[in-house]
């Protein structure tokens, strides 16, 4: 017979769990999340259960099961390692008309615990003929589809309003956050940057309006003021607008300007942080921006204006004196000026440098050099934006990692 699925509302109701091993460790937190008053009977418990007991969230009877433990319970879980004990617990529960879940024998169990998950207000519970592994696999697939919007999120009776500033990550579509992808799936209008994970746009329904807000270096660009107007205009029409950017909206992404514009217009704004390319791209090339004993600081610098430009607010002499890592964004076109400035202000010409183009994408490639040779190497290799310039001793750490990997290849 197929089981009759039912959602139990356990808030304040007593639930008995007998056994303190790993099965109980998985089930007790879920019961607590449902508001149950959990009594745990077992001579010993796992460290994870011990933490819950110490927090006062679980009542622990430190002893073996005894007849009468089921009294007053609405639900019983028999999770001991002894079949005969689980049989006795189930028999007592059955005699008292209390539902009992046996961990050791699905066929003898009066009830099954489904593989469950929750995304916002949607709860998912899967049973697969009592096969917990199969149920968990199906549960994970359904929950994942709900989280990333693969299951049609636009059918919600209620949907987000206003504007969402979504950081799309460094380029690889898989590196957008779960929340970002979820909101993208609910968008009516998407205003996308050039460096946003554009492959995700192809997955959107045909009725979603996509506005190209690309800013091509030294080429065409949609003015920021116009972008602000578009966000406000569409939101005022009752449409949910996602502003999709590369990296993080608040790291050289002008997210602050867009948030101020929306606030002045009375438009609600949701902010979804993204993985910044300033950290992710070096990592994808095997370079940590900090490393114990090498660098305990890193500086992220936008080089959209040259070091000697009056509009520059960067303390270049201070950056040259620093022993920390420098991560330079939008610096490829000015790599010669940058290196000359850093050397002039005190950085050693032998400081290692790496330039990574198309970080996290299949087309990623990198050039390693020193501060005195990197401009020439970048030109010879034909490196073009988008690219990240990493300056500092951490580049040697990345090279050491590559050497170790190479030595281990048979």
Catalytic residue at 172? no
Q: How far apart are CA 28 and CA 257, in angstroms?
A: 46
Other Cβ atoms within 10 Å of 395 Cβ, number:
24
Q: How do beta strands 269-272 and 325-329 pair?
A: unpaired
CB 172 within 8 Å of CB 359: no
Rounded to the nearest 5°, which phi and psi values hold at 168? -85, -5
Tokens describing residue 335 = 């790599």
End-to-end Cα separation, the chain, in angstroms? 55
Q: What angle, 0 to 180 degrees and rounded to 10, lies between the N-to-C axes of helices 47-54 and 22-33?
A: 30
Catalytic residue at 33? no
Q: Which of 69, 148, 188, 193 is catalytic?
A: 193
Q: What angle, 0 to 180 degrees and rounded to 10, lies between the N-to-C axes of helices 224-236 and 255-264?
A: 40
Q: Which of 94, 215, 239, 345 is catalytic?
A: 215
Q: How far apart are CA 355 and CA 395, in angstroms?
A: 10
Active-site amino acid positions:
193, 215
């Amino acid at each position: 017979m197929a089981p009759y699925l039912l959602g139990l509302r356990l808030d304040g109701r007593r639930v008995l769990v007998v056994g303190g091993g790993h099965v109980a460790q998985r089930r007790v937190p879920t019961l607590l999340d449902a508001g149950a008053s959990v009594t745990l009977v077992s001579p010993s418990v796992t460290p994870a259960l011990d933490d819950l007991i110490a927090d006062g969230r679980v009542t622990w009877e430190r002893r073996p099961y005894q007849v009468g433990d089921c009294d007053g319970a609405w639900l019983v879980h028999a999770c001991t390692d002894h079949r005969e004990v689980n049989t006795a617990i189930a028999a007592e529960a059955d005699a008292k008309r209390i539902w009992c879940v046996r961990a050791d024998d699905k066929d003898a169990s009066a009830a099954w615990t489904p593989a469950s998950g929750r995304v916002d207000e949607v709860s998912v519970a899967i049973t697969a003929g009592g096969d917990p592994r199969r149920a968990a696999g199906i549960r994970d697939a359904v929950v994942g589809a709900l989280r990333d919007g693969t299951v049609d999120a636009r059918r919600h009776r209620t949907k987000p309003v206003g504007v969402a500033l979504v950081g799309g990550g460094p380029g690889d579509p898989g590196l957008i956050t779960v929340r970002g992808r979820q909101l993208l799936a609910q968008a009516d209008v998407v205003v996308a940057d050039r460096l946003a994970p554009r492959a995700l746009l192809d997955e959107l329904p045909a009725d979603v309006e996509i506005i190209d807000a690309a800013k091509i270096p030294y080429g065409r660009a949609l003015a920021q003021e116009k972008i602000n107007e578009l966000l406000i205009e569409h939101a005022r029409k009752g449409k949910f607008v996602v502003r999709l950017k590369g990296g993080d909206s608040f790291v050289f992404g002008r997210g602050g300007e867009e948030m101020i514009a929306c606030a002045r217009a009375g438009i609600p704004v949701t902010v979804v942080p993204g993985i910044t390319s300033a950290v992710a791209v070096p990592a994808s090339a095997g370079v940590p921006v900090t490393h114990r004993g090498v660098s305990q600081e890193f500086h992220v610098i936008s080089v959209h204006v040259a070091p000697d430009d009056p509009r520059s607010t960067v303390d270049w002499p201070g950056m040259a004196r620093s022993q920390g890592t420098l991560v330079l964004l939008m610096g490829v076109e000015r790599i010669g000026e940058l290196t000359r400035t850093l050397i002039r202000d005190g950085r050693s010409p032998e400081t290692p440098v790496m330039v990574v183009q198309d970080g996290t994408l299949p087309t990623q490639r990198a050039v390693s050099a020193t501060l005195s040779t990197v401009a020439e190497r970048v030109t010879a290799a034909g490196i073009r934006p988008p690219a990240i310039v990493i300056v500092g001793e951490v580049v040697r750490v990345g090279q050491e990692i590559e050497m170790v990997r190479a030595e281990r290849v048979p």
